[in-house]
Chain A
Amino acid sequence: MHTMVRIRRITKRGQMKIQQMSFMLIAVTFLFILVGIFFLSIRLYSLKKTATNLEEQNAMLLVSKLANSPEFSCGNAFGSSRTSCVDFDKLIVLKDRISDYSGFWGVAKIELRKIYPGEEDILCDEKNYPNCNILKLLDKKVNTQPATSNFVALCRKEKTEAIIYDKCELALLMISSESKK
């Protein structure tokens, strides 16, 4: 009788210990999971920040050179070769084919805005061209960083009753990179 009581007491104590151990293991596991999630979120944030910085750096370096790329540049179409000169006639055509170029420059937005002469904002399309002043060339529907810009000469062929001449206006070429944050 005495032995039976003792065995029961030992079994109960054993069960308590097993319960205590399993609770402790669960608590320790949770603690590690929480620490892991916390660490991963910090790491992920820092990675996203680096990716955004790199995209921004790309946009900054690209904006100064984009006007010289074949799809944008005037070449010799307006007399002699010019630097930072954008061919408006070419861009309005490019706007219709922009789906092929969606990932080409690695940026989220490319926009051109005539700044002189100052007029009310009219978005350019094939119908109202050239009587417009904002050309949204590429616009991915994503979160973007503030735009980086560069002044360019926006040139096109213009006709009066008697002559065909080159008309160049001052414009701002703006590029926005995707924000990964």
Chain B
Amino acid sequence: MKKNTRDLAYISRALTPRNRSGVLDISFGWLFALIAGAVIIFLAIYLSSKLIGTEKETVSAETGKEIGILLNPLETSFESAQTTSISIPTETRIHNTCDETGSFGRQVIQLDQKNFGKWTKTEVDVSFENKYIFSNKEMGGKKFYIFSKPFSFPFKVADLIYMSSSNERYCFMNAPEEIVTELTNLNRSNLITKNCSLSDIKVCFSGNCQINVDYGAGSVKKGGKIVYFAGTGEDSKTLMYAAIFSDADVYECQLKRLMLRVKELSQIYGDKSVIVERAGCENNLREDLAKLSSLADGFGSSTELELIKLQADDVAARKEVGICILW
């Protein structure tokens, strides 16, 4: 009886399928391949998406740095203005940011580029201490027009760079003759003085339009905000163009940076006056330069520009009186 029962149990075990739970019989090899394969595929997709993102950021940072480097030849010597253009193969948005901290502040460029119809935002900032770019906070396009002019206050302080997209056309209406001549000589297709179209950004020297310039009072009204410009001697146009082409925030910040450089250069010329005095060159400019330096140091906004201009004009007038010219 016992033997029969054992035999029956053995037969029943033998006949029962091995896969008792009814699911697939997965061997160790399969299980390992599935787990490892899933992990590998997940990692590969994750890493390649990260890598593409990093690669796009690198390209944007490189382009930003290249733009900054290409602006080096815009440093002027005898010229009253220099002009160039930059073409980028892909649709690009340039963000112009200004940082006024540090000895001279910083010009920051950030680039977003279009890839496969989508904008790639970059967090990488490319900065330059010796550049002053006046433009809107954001410009888009493939081609960008640039021109530069030297800014003197009363000595040469820097070359100001005006940047605009080829997608934007500025039409200067009722501009004084000297401005019309200068713009015509620049020969830029996005800066015109006649035959304005509806899509143009209109810059009016009288009347009311998008950008209003009061040339006599030295002010520019743009986007509801008024900023002031001035210049020593006859040159007040340099800052006027800056106010026209840039947003009010960018203009005010860049002006502060320029005043930081005025401060530093005043001190350099003040110390130089001591050295040339040893060579017998009397000039008595040290105190005036120190005053200019202190005014430039305390500069807050363009409303105070006229006050500093008075001191700069005073320094310029006294410079001519000395035996040796300082700059």
Contacts and interface: CB of A to CB of B under 8 A. Distances in A.
Q: Do A and B form a real pair?
A: yes
B209 interface: no
B267 interface: yes
Interface in A136-175: 156-159, 164
A54 B65 contact: yes
Contacts of B327: 75-77
Contacts of B65: 54
Given A68-B75, A75-B327, A104-B130, A25 B28 contact: no
B73 A61 contact: yes
Interface in A45-100: 47, 50, 54, 57-58, 61-62, 64-66, 68-71, 73, 75-77, 81, 83-84, 87, 89-90, 92-94, 96-97, 100
A164 B128 CA distance: 40
B129 A94 contact: no
A41 to B, nearest CB: 14
B62 A73 contact: no
Contacts of A87: 272
Interface in B224-260: none
Interface residues of B, number: 47
Interface stretch (B152-160, B185-193, B194-202): B152-160
A34 interface: no
B265 A24 contact: no
Contacts of A24: 32, 36
B32 A89 contact: no
Contact of B271 (A54, A96, A157): A96
The A contact surface, by secondary structure, is helix
A104 B280 contact: no
Interface string B68-83: 1110110111100000
A11 to B, nearest CB: 14
Q: Residue among B40, B68, B130 with the most chain A CB within 10 A? A: B130
A156 B60 CA distance: 44
Interface in B46-89: 47, 58, 62, 65-66, 68-70, 72-73, 75-78
A70 B265 contact: yes
Nearest to B55: A43
B104 interface: yes
A101 B103 contact: yes
Q: Residue among B77, B271, B327 with the most chain A CB within 10 A? A: B77
Given A77-B324, A90-B272, A104-B129, A70 B155 contact: yes
Interface of A: 17, 20-21, 24-25, 28, 32, 36, 47, 50, 54, 57-58, 61-62, 64-66, 68-71, 73, 75-77, 81, 83-84, 87, 89-90, 92-94, 96-97, 100-101, 103-106, 129, 156-159, 164
Given A21-B32, A90-B272, A129-B275, 7 more contacts: A32-B43, A57-B69, A70-B156, A100-B103, A105-B130, A157-B281, A164-B280
Interface of B: 28, 31-32, 36, 40, 43, 47, 58, 62, 65-66, 68-70, 72-73, 75-78, 103-104, 128-130, 155-158, 261, 264-265, 267-269, 271-272, 275-276, 279-281, 323-327
